[in-house]
Amino acid sequence: MAGGVLAVAIGAGAYWLSGGRWVDTDDAYVQADSMTLSTDVSGIVGSIPVDEGEAVKKGQVLFSLDPEKFQIALDNARADLAQTRLNIEAMKADYQAALRDTAGKQQQVNSDQANYGRFAALVKQHAVTQQETDDSRYKLAADQQAVSASESQARALLAKLAGNPNIAVEDTPAYKQAEARLAEAQREMNHAVVRAPYDGIVTQVNKLQPGMYLGAGTAAFGLVSTDHVWVEAQPKETQLTYARNGDPVEVSFDIYPGRT
């Protein structure tokens, strides 16, 4: 009778312990954020200051491309920006000169108009010849065309200044384009140096070697996070009846026997 009671007690205890009090599984794996490093610019690999399996910190340099071509492009963009400023300043001066030239030619047209008016009156009185009158008319027409050409030149210069002769150099479209080219050259220079986006461990570093040509978007090597690591398990639904957020969990690893 005592044995029967003991057997029932043992069976009830086993059922209670296995009825959802604990969940266990050995079908689980350690997971971590990982990424394949690359950059959006192309170039020759210059240096790789990390080794296989090395732990790196966020912001640490992982590899860099030869900076020479990027420095040349950056210097060229800076020079182009400076030249654009000079061109715009010269354009503003040319516009003012065109206005003065137009005004001077208009004065000549006014004089030609007066002369032609006098010749036209005198030719009726036979005080001047018809040839002289025609020459006066031709000179008036030619000077009027010169005024039109000068006005067209002034309008073209004004259009390049966005319609505002007093516009600041930095506000002109040409200067903004040159600024954008400089910003792009600087961005490419910055992206020629690849830094760790987060703390982690580098992997397959030997895939990249100094002197290799690395195309834009080409995989270099890997980085596995040491900050965001988790265990992914797939227990049965019936085991999760009483599982709750915040429950303590013990984890052991095959690679570290005896440690939890």
Does residue 160 form part of some domain? Answer: yes
- Quote the distance between the C-alpha of residue 247 and its chain's center: 46
Do 150 and 45 fall within a single domain?
no
The partner residues of 45 in beta bridges, in order of sequence, read 65
Digit-by-digit pLDDT tens for the chain (260 residues) are: 899 989 998 888 777 666 656 788 888 898 999 999 999 999 999 999 999 999 999 999 999 999 999 999 999 999 999 999 999 999 999 999 998 999 998 898 888 888 878 877 877 777 778 888 888 888 888 988 998 998 898 989 888 888 888 999 999 999 999 999 999 999 999 999 999 999 999 999 999 999 999 999 999 999 999 989 999 988 888 888 888 899 999 999 888 898 99
For every residue of 84-149, DSSP letters joined together read HHHHHHHHHHHHHHHHHHHHHHHHHHHHHHHHHHHHHHHHHTTSS-HHHHHHHHHHHHHHHHHHHH
Contact 30, 177 (CB under 8 A): no
Of 172, 187, 202, which residue sits at a domain end? 187
Do 76 and 41 fall within a single domain?
no
- Going by C-alpha positions, the residue among 157, 179, 184 that lies closest to residue 80 is 179
Do 98 and 159 fall within a single domain?
yes
Contact 28, 254 (CB under 8 A): no
Does residue 14 form part of some domain? Answer: no
Tell me, what's the pLDDT at 79?
97
Tell me, what's the pLDDT at 60?
97
Does residue 232 form part of some domain? Answer: yes
Does residue 10 form part of some domain? Answer: no
Does residue 17 form part of some domain? Answer: no
Do 88 and 149 fall within a single domain?
yes
The position carrying tokens 């047209």 is 109
Do 127 and 220 fall within a single domain?
no
SS3 of residue 183 by DSSP: helix
**Could you tell me the sign of the dihedral formed by the alpha carbons of 201, 207, 208, 214, in that order?**
negative
Do 110 and 163 fall within a single domain?
yes
Of 159, 187, 215, which residue sits at a domain end? 187
CATH number for the domain harbouring residue 52: 2.40.50.100
Q: What is the pTM of this model?
A: 0.70
Do 75 and 137 fall within a single domain?
yes
Do 74 and 170 fall within a single domain?
yes
Do 99 and 175 fall within a single domain?
yes
Domain count, the chain: 2
Q: Phi-psi region for residue 187, left (φ > 0), alpha (ψ -120 to 50) or beta?
A: alpha
Do 74 and 182 fall within a single domain?
yes
Do 201 and 167 fall within a single domain?
no
* Interatomic CA distance for residues 215 and 69, integer angstroms: 14
Tell me, what's the pLDDT at 19?
60
SS3 of residue 201 by DSSP: strand
Domain range enclosing 208: 29-66+193-260
Does residue 202 form part of some domain? Answer: yes
The position carrying tokens 């600087």 is 186
Of 187, 211, 228, which residue sits at a domain end? 187
Do 74 and 61 fall within a single domain?
no
Tell me, what's the pLDDT at 18?
63
The residues, ordered by sequence, that sit 6+ positions from 92 with a Cβ below 8 Å of its Cβ are 161, 165
CB burial of 36-57 (b: ≥16 within 10 Å; e: otherwise) equals: ebebebebebeebebeeeeebe
Does residue 235 form part of some domain? Answer: yes
Q: Torsion angle, CA of 136/141/146/152, rounded to 10 degrees?
A: 160
Phi and psi dihedrals of 256, rounded to 5? -125, 75
Does residue 23 form part of some domain? Answer: no
